[in-house]
Amino acid sequence: MTVVTAHGPDAEWIADLIGGAFQHLPVTEWLVPDPVERARIMPRNFQIIVEYALEHGEIHTTSDRSAAAVWLPRGATELPPPRDYERRVLDTCGEHAHRFFELDAIFDKHHPGALPHHHLGLLGVRGDRQGEGLGTALLRHHHARLDQAGIPAYLEASSTGSRDLYARLGYDLMGEAYGAPNGALFWPMWRDPA
């Protein structure tokens, strides 16, 4: 497996991949309860984030397009907000937009302060390839660069399984889990550079 760096033209397929991988998470089921609408809305919502990361961060994928990791540098300098973010979320998510804004506020409230770090915003693996170590390989690829530069990493684990995987990769819990209004939990986790 080869890890490659994504570029602008990759935004749509990466958003589709992540949207598919996240379809059955408790938080996405809360964001868009109807599965048909969810399958349509989530990839286009993730495309907003993916396009932003392609401009201001980094996205690594497997060469066969079966996994992607979306990273944003945080804390060193303030990033501008995504262009037309509110309008795009309203256009994309329609009647569900208020839940997306509510989730944004929850994440912002729990994000660590100004200490420079890289934030793993999204990590998705195609459903038929999950459990093969592709996500781990993408993480190790970026961790090697962070370790060389002495930069820590932060993420929000969305399941006990992902929490335990991240712990094996050097992440420590940062306090208690917090939740979305439907009870879907997130575990804030921090990794110091090796």
DSSP 39-52: HHHHHHHHHHHHHH
Q: Are 54 and 11 in contact (CB under 8 A)?
A: yes
H or E segment at 4? strand 3-5
- Return the SS3 of 158: coil
User: Alpha helix (H) ranges present in the chain?
Assistant: 11-21, 26-31, 35-56, 85-93, 97-110, 134-149, 160-168
Beta bridge partners of 179: 185
Using CA of residue 117, residue 118, residue 121, residue 124, what is the dihedral sign? negative
Q: What pTM did the predictor assign?
A: 0.95
- Rounded to whole angstroms, the Cα distance separating 144 from 191 reads 12
Q: Which CATH number fits domain 3-191: 3.40.630.30, 2.60.40.1120, 3.40.50.720, 3.30.450.20?
A: 3.40.630.30
State the burial class of residue 192 (Cβ atoms within 10 Å of its Cβ: 0-12, 13-18, 19+).
Answer: middle
Q: How confident is the model at residue 114 (pLDDT cuts 50, 70, 90)?
A: confident
pLDDT number for residue 76: 75
Which residues, in sequence order, are CB contacts of 38 under 8 Å at separation 6+?
A: 23, 28, 29, 31, 32
Task: For residues 104-132, give the mean pLDDT.
Answer: 93
Look up residue 44 and give its two tokens. 């286009």
Confidence check: pLDDT of 75 > 90: no
Q: How confident is the model at residue 77 (pLDDT cuts 50, 70, 90)?
A: confident
Q: How confident is the model at residue 109 (pLDDT cuts 50, 70, 90)?
A: very high
**SS3 helix, strand, coil % of the chain, rounded to 5?**
50, 20, 30
Task: For residues 90-110, give the mean pLDDT.
Answer: 97
Q: How confident is the model at residue 1 (pLDDT cuts 50, 70, 90)?
A: confident
**pLDDT (tens digit, 9 = 90+) per residue, 4-18?**
999 999 999 999 999
